[in-house]
Amino acid sequence: MIKGCLITFVERIDIQRIMNRTTIEDALFPGCPIRNILSRFGDKWSLLVIYTLDKQNRAVRFKELQREISDISQKMLTVTLRTLEEDGLVTRTVYPEVPPRVEYLLTERAKSLLPHINALIGWALENMDAIMSDRKTAVGKE
């Protein structure tokens, strides 16, 4: 197996879901913000990429992002960045150099989302122990 080509089943499902770029809006529920907006960046990888770019507070190269999020595959990071770029949350700047240099930066739209992401992370931190305990209890009952 080629290094970096091993992806998990969950990543494969995420890639299939995210890579369907022909769907601009949900046909059955065109006015639903959850199906049409939140689902595009509400996955594990998109939130981690947004959080990581915010943490860096500057333009970041692809490999640097990949090092920061060490458990993401190259393909999944590429798909995630493209999706975030399509939705106007990330800008991608390509410099005409050899080798090519590509940098990613959060847009103002993404920055306006950060307080909400940070609030969600805060909620997760406050409730993590209780949720993990409930999961263990639920698994023990099966």
Confidence label for 75 from pLDDT (cuts 50, 70 and 90): very high
Is pLDDT above 50 for 4? no
Mean pLDDT of 4-26: 55
Least Cα distance to 4 among 58, 82, 78 occurs for 78
Cα separation of 27 and 122, whole Å? 34
Predicted TM-score of the model (pTM): 0.77
Confidence label for 17 from pLDDT (cuts 50, 70 and 90): low
On whether the CB atoms of residues 55 and 47 are closer than 8 A, the answer is no
Confidence label for 2 from pLDDT (cuts 50, 70 and 90): very low
Cis peptide preceding 33, ω within 30 of 0:
no
* Separation in Å, CA 91 to CA 8, 85, 101, 103, 109: 28, 6, 14, 8, 11
Lowest mean pLDDT among 21-25, 36-40, 69-73, 136-140: 21-25
Tokens of 81: 């960045």
Mean pLDDT of 105-126: 96
Strands 60-61 and 90-95: unpaired
Confidence label for 3 from pLDDT (cuts 50, 70 and 90): very low
Confidence label for 39 from pLDDT (cuts 50, 70 and 90): confident
